[in-house]
Amino acid sequence: MIPSWTRFTVKHRWVMLILWILLVATTVPLAAQVTKHLTTNGFNKPHSQVSWATNSLNDLHPAPSTKPLLIENLSEASAKRIAATHHVPSGAVHRIGNNQSLLMPPSTLSVQTEHQLETALRDRHAVVTEVGQLAIGKKVTHDVSQTLARSGIVALPFLAALLLLVFGSVMSVSLPLIIALAGSEVALAAISIISRHIQLSVFLTDIVSFLALGVGIDYALFISTRFRQNLDDGRDLEAAIVDSMSHAGRSVLYSGIAVALAVATLLLGNDAYWRGLALGGSVAIFAVLLATHTLLPPIMRLLGHGLHWGRIRRPDFHMWKALGRFVTRHPLWSILAGLVILVPFATLSPKLQMSTPANLATMLPVNNPLRLAVEKQQQIQGAGSIAPIAVVVQLPHSTRVASSWDAVSELTAHLEKLPDVASVASPTSLGAPAPLLAAAVSTPERVPPALVKGLKNFTSSRNTRLVVVYVTAKSGPNAARTSRLVGRIDSHLAGWLPQGSRAAAGGLVPVLRNFNLLTQSRIPWIIGSALLVALVVLTAATGSVMQAILGVVFDGLVALATAGFLVFVSNHGLFGFQRQPLDSSITPLIFVLLFGLSMDYEVILLHRIQEKMRDGQSLREAVNHGVATTGAMITGAGMIMVVVFLALLISPLQIMKTMAVGLSFAVLADTWIVRSLLVPSATALLNRFGFWPWRAKMAGKATP
């Protein structure tokens, strides 16, 4: 099927090119609007209690209130003098660093006065930032986007040099860029359409570009390398292209399907965040596969020998021929060498801890002013003050009825008695009896305005059955004690409220607690599904159950070693890591991408070995040839990926450093150890069982 399709695309090359130009041109507007229907949240499980509670908070319209302010580029003494002119006591200003202060406004300070104070501070060229989880979340998102942009600039010269070295000519370097750009643009347009019907996370845009570039480079490299080898062997253009697509193109098709299906296993995460990464990644892979099999052959036909333009003299990597001979002659020693490197790291993997922090400030570097401001706020007001737990209650009757307020009062009393609770902010704590609270809802013009204003922080003007009670924990948002407190609240609410009530804990802490618990429970299923995908695709690609089993076992070993390496890096503070759990919003993605991307290199190596076995070579001779001819290509493709990953280390955020270090180690271990040592040596050691039950057939007979 592939040869026939390739001949069609080559014969009608101008038609295919025009169709692609039209496709890209017409989908640009869609791709440009991809973020329009994407959510910046996405960590809620749809239709869950915590999702309902958090969404219900949007019905509240509390009165404006003062917020803590971070003051930078101004001495503490100057900040205190300016504050004093606005009737703010000097004790409200706290030094957190050189020319950095935290202003904790007193409860008596009006919002208008605080705005006037901000203006006065900025007039003195101070940088004033509101301190809160929302501001910190924006800072983290901004740093992530900035890192992705800057890392591309940082990696560009190294990537250009490496691409030139691996591809061998200036003109051939254009191939992966064309395929990656075309694939990512079509993928974003497709996501733009899908997101109108399914809630997806905005974070998918990064993974689409990331994967399209990575696999676009790999696939273009594998196919164009084979094409240029065919030209060097004297084949005509069409025959060279057909052979390239029949062999390297077939390998790319299988590996692409494996990557797409592996990434799709993230759908088991069952929320908009994981769904976005799963669909975004899978669509990106299929878009690149489409470009690889419909756009790349016409381009190669048009360029022909012109792909050699700007050719450079590359070193002859004799080491791969030597390594091929070594692993086939000494397979046991080769396996031991690989295991000695990976197993020590794998033994550290059980110590891996994952959790997305509810205190977003801990995602920032330890010396970041915003993080220091939050830590100072916690010292002053209590560890849990920065993220109170919102207990959302929908009562069976309207709050116009006094009995509803009796139920809220009873709930407040129960919450105050819970361990690890520092304080409870409730409407029944405003000092008004239940009948007066009911009157404030039904006839607000007849009660004191201060009471009506106070109730706005706890009730909804649209839904008179909705009440919110805020619980401040003694421990910080990231603490296990706080997570247990949320669980304790949720488990007791039904027994504390009248029949017919609906209640749940909502807000940042419960949302991320729920996300962490859900992710932890789904990780075994995600990884198990990714391994099953690898098993099925490798069996289909090679016809060998034995190679599929070896691939899964070695991929599992690399995954464990990668987890252990991240533990090692975190424990020793390498690359600027802090000793804290790795972010559960990114760590599972590392393992899924590992299982997917490893299929690229596995299928290319095994197909090259099988090809020589069909030509009559013995298994060991074929393994020797496979390592010698694909070693430089596979490790070169891996090094290109590593350059892209390591550029992310410029980020001050540990979440980006985790992706950089984790994926770099995984790709290096996979290309230099598994594909160069473990797979070929294990295959050679198994001898005639190395590809069981597949048997090479030549001229009607099988060979070992």
- Dist. CA 381–CA 384, nearest whole Å: 8
Contacts of 292 (CB under 8 A, 6+ apart): 179, 216, 219, 220, 223, 249, 252, 256
Contacts of 478 (CB under 8 A, 6+ apart): 355, 357, 358, 359, 362
SS3 category, 51: helix
- Dist. CA 447–CA 464, nearest whole Å: 17
- Dist. CA 424–CA 389, nearest whole Å: 9
Phi/psi of residue 72, nearest 5 degrees: -120, 160
Tokens of 110: 């009006």
Give the CB-side neighbour count of residue 129, counting CA atoms within 13 A: 23
* Mean predicted confidence (pLDDT) in 258-285: 85
The type of residue at 327 is: V
* Mean predicted confidence (pLDDT) in 240-262: 89
Helix (H) or strand (E) holding 72: strand 69-72
Contacts of 210 (CB under 8 A, 6+ apart): 644
- The structural domains of the chain, with segments of one domain joined by +, span 69-130, 388-506
SS3 category, 696: strand
Give the CB-side neighbour count of residue 679, counting CA atoms within 13 A: 34
User: Contact, 178 vs 217, CB < 8 A?
Assistant: no
Facing residues of 393 across strands?
A: 467, 503
Does residue 389 have a pLDDT over 80?
yes
DSSP assignment, residue 487? H
Q: What angle do CA 645, 647, 648 make, to 5 degrees?
A: 75
User: Contact, 399 vs 438, CB < 8 A?
Assistant: yes
Does residue 97 have a pLDDT over 70?
yes
Question: Which band of pLDDT confidence, cut at 50, 70 and 90, is reported for residue 401?
Answer: very high
Of 576, 599, 595, nearest in space to 658 by CA: 576
pLDDT in tens, 441-499: 999 888 888 888 888 889 987 899 999 999 999 999 999 999 999 999 999 999 999 99
Question: Which band of pLDDT confidence, cut at 50, 70 and 90, is reported for residue 698?
Answer: very low
* Average per-residue pLDDT for the chain: 88
Give residue 703's pLDDT. 34
CB burial class (10 A; 0-12, 13-18, 19+) of residue 565?
Answer: buried
Q: Long-range contacts made by residues 457-464, C-beta under 8 angstroms, separation at least 24?
A: 457/60, 457/62, 457/63, 457/425, 457/427, 458/60, 458/425, 458/426, 458/427, 459/60, 459/399, 459/427, 460/56, 460/59, 460/60, 460/61, 461/61, 462/59, 463/56, 463/59, 463/394, 464/398, 464/399, 464/400
Angle subtended by helix axes 654-668 and 133-167, to nearest 10: 30
Give residue 39's pLDDT. 64
Facing residues of 424 across strands?
A: 471
Contacts of 229 (CB under 8 A, 6+ apart): none
Strands (E), 156-245: none
Give residue 203's pLDDT. 66
Of 249, 307, 353, nearest in space to 5 by CA: 249
Helix (H) or strand (E) holding 284: helix 272-294
CA 666 remoteness from chain centre: 16
- Dist. CA 196–CA 201, nearest whole Å: 12
Question: Which band of pLDDT confidence, cut at 50, 70 and 90, is reported for residue 699?
Answer: very low
pLDDT in tens, 147-184: 766 776 777 788 788 888 887 788 888 888 888 888 88
CA 459 remoteness from chain centre: 37
Does residue 26 have a pLDDT over 70?
yes
- Burial pattern 70-98, b for ≥16 Cβ within 10 A else e, equals bbbebbbebbbebbeebebeeebbbebee
Give residue 315's pLDDT. 64
* Mean predicted confidence (pLDDT) in 134-147: 76
Q: Given this structure, which CATH class describes domain 388-506? A: alpha beta
User: Contact, 370 vs 135, CB < 8 A?
Assistant: yes
Strands (E), 507-659: none
Give residue 244's pLDDT. 92
Give residue 217's pLDDT. 83
Does residue 704 have a pLDDT over 60?
no
CB burial class (10 A; 0-12, 13-18, 19+) of residue 48?
Answer: middle
Count of Cβ atoms closer than 10 Å to residue 119 Cβ: 11
- Dist. CA 213–CA 701, nearest whole Å: 42
SS3 category, 691: coil
Does residue 696 have a pLDDT over 80?
no
- Dist. CA 117–CA 107, nearest whole Å: 15
* Mean predicted confidence (pLDDT) in 403-422: 95
Helix (H) or strand (E) holding 392: strand 389-394
pTM of the model: 0.85
Q: What angle do CA 338, 631, 677 make, to 5 degrees?
A: 15
pLDDT in tens, 294-344: 999 999 999 888 887 877 776 666 788 999 999 999 999 999 999 999 999
User: Contact, 297 vs 284, CB < 8 A?
Assistant: no
- Dist. CA 253–CA 246, nearest whole Å: 10
- Burial pattern 55-69, b for ≥16 Cβ within 10 A else e, equals ebeeebeeeeebbbb
* Mean predicted confidence (pLDDT) in 68-95: 92
Phi/psi of residue 423, nearest 5 degrees: -160, 160
Sign, CA dihedral 336-341-342-345, equals positive
Helix (H) or strand (E) holding 101: strand 100-103
Phi/psi of residue 430, nearest 5 degrees: -80, -5
